[in-house]
Structure formats: C-alpha cells, structure tokens
Structure 1
Amino acid sequence: MDSTTFEQIVVAAIEDLPPPFGRYLENVEIIVARRPSREQRRALGLKPWQGVYGMYDGVPYPERSSGMLLLPDAIVIFQEPLERDFRTAAQLREQVRRTVLHEIAHLFGISDDRLRELDAY
C-alpha cells in the first residue's frame, strides 16, 4: 500500500475518535513512519525479533506540572509492521484504530502493564 493511502487510514482512525479526545490531541503530532528507526527500537527496549506498531514520545499528562516547557508530544504509527501482520483492509483499519488508542492511552499515563490488566490488548 502506498504511504498516502496508509496515512488516510490513520487520519480516519483519529477523526473517528470521540470529540473529547480532540482537544487532548491538539498539541500531539501524529507521524506515520515506514518502520521504527534504530533509535526508536532502542528507546522502546525492543529485541531484534520484536515488532512494534506504534509509539508515544512525550511527557504523559499525569507527569506534567505547571511551568514545564514541553516540546509537542508525538504518536508514531509504523506502516510496515502493521501491513505485514494485518493483510486485509478491514483488519488493517481495525489494528490502526487499536494502535492509535493504545498510544493515546500512554499520553494519559496508562502503562502497557495496566492496559494488559484492563484486557485492552
């Protein structure tokens, strides 16, 4: 799939979010990348055989304090791992939606462990 079509899937997932999320995403850059860079893989602590669909880069809301000077947060969605693991358009759209929600959860300070407890994987 070309990058423009994939980006449209990501945009659709974000536009389909409930309205209250919109204001929380105003200062969040949404980035589509082909695959995670070496630095991103290192930052996530991934082993060579491990894959990842997305990542949140920033300071979660619960860790912020007034007066903090912050760069915009970023949510990165990785196209190649998603396309590799989800072959049909419907599967891909659903997993992109789940990945966007997962990364937004990190923006709100929800850890991977807590997401597992909530059965959100």
Structure 2
Amino acid sequence: MIDVEPERFEQMVSEALDGLPDDLGALMSNVAVTVEHGAGRPGLLGLYQGVPLTRRTTTYAGALPDRITIYRRAICRICDSDDEVAAQVRRTVVHEVGHHFGIGDARLRQLGW
C-alpha cells in the first residue's frame, strides 16, 4: 500500500482525463469527474452514475450531470508505488468513461480496461 497525497492523486486523475483521445473527450457530455478521498464502496476503484450516452433519448434534458467517482484510498490500497497508482488511475478513469459511453463491464474487461 502507498499513500499518495490528495493533491497529487487529483493531478493523476486530471492527467488521465487529459490523456484521453481528443475525439473521445469531445464526445463526453454532461459528466463530472470527482475524487473521493475515502475508501468508497468495498471492491470499487471507481464508479459511474448516470445515463450512458447510448441510452439518452430526445427526452434527456435538464438532467444533473452524470458522475464518475475515483476512489483514492481504494486505489492506493492495491498499489505499491506512485507509478502503479498512476497506471491504475488511468485504467480506472478509462473504465468509468467507457461506462459513460455505454460499454459494459464484461466488454471493458475484454478490452483490457
């Protein structure tokens, strides 16, 4: 286990988001990415809550933003170095963004995310 400072962890999340392909980032709509500095729900490194883009219809209007939460302590708990945390943050961010695009867990795992 490693303890990454909250500010550094948030920077890792920002870097992971900035590392998304520009075309993909431009397609993201009405979604907020936050960091939870606690452990979060057992077994989760990240969580997507909302209506995936593939399920939005013409009636989707005025909705609160979807939310992607990245759990700092949960990720730090399974990593032994700063580099491992950064890599896991990237994997988790990409995984949760995949949910925003309507991709399920099974397919994301097949793709290595």
Could you tell me the TM-score, scaled by structure 2's length? 0.87
- Give 1:26 deviation, angstroms: 4.8
1:97 aligns with 2:104: no
Unaligned runs of 5+ in 2: none
Q: Distance in 1 between matches of 2:111 and 2:54?
A: 22
* Higher RCO (C-alpha under 8 Å, 6+ residues apart): 2
Unaligned runs of 5+ in 1: 42-49
Q: Distance in 2 between matches of 1:26 and 1:106?
A: 13
Q: Distance in 1 between matches of 2:70 and 2:89?
A: 8
Which residue of the partner structure matches residue 6 of structure 2?
Answer: 3
Runs of 4+ in 1 over 4 A off after TM superposition: none
Secondary structure at the counterpart of residue 8 of structure 1: helix
1:19 aligns with 2:11: no
Could you tell me the TM-score, scaled by structure 1's length? 0.81
Q: Distance in 2 between matches of 1:87 and 1:25?
A: 32
Q: Distance in 1 between matches of 2:99 and 2:5?
A: 28
Which residue of the partner structure matches residue 104 of structure 2?
Answer: 111
- Across the aligned residues of Structure 1 and Structure 2, the Cα RMSD in angstroms comes to 1.5
Which residue of the partner structure matches residue 63 of structure 1?
Answer: 55
Residue deviations 1:28-47 (CA, integer Å, cap 9, x gap)? 111000222xxxx4xxxxxx
Residue deviations 1:34-76 (CA, integer Å, cap 9, x gap)? 222xxxx4xxxxxxxx421001011011111013222111110
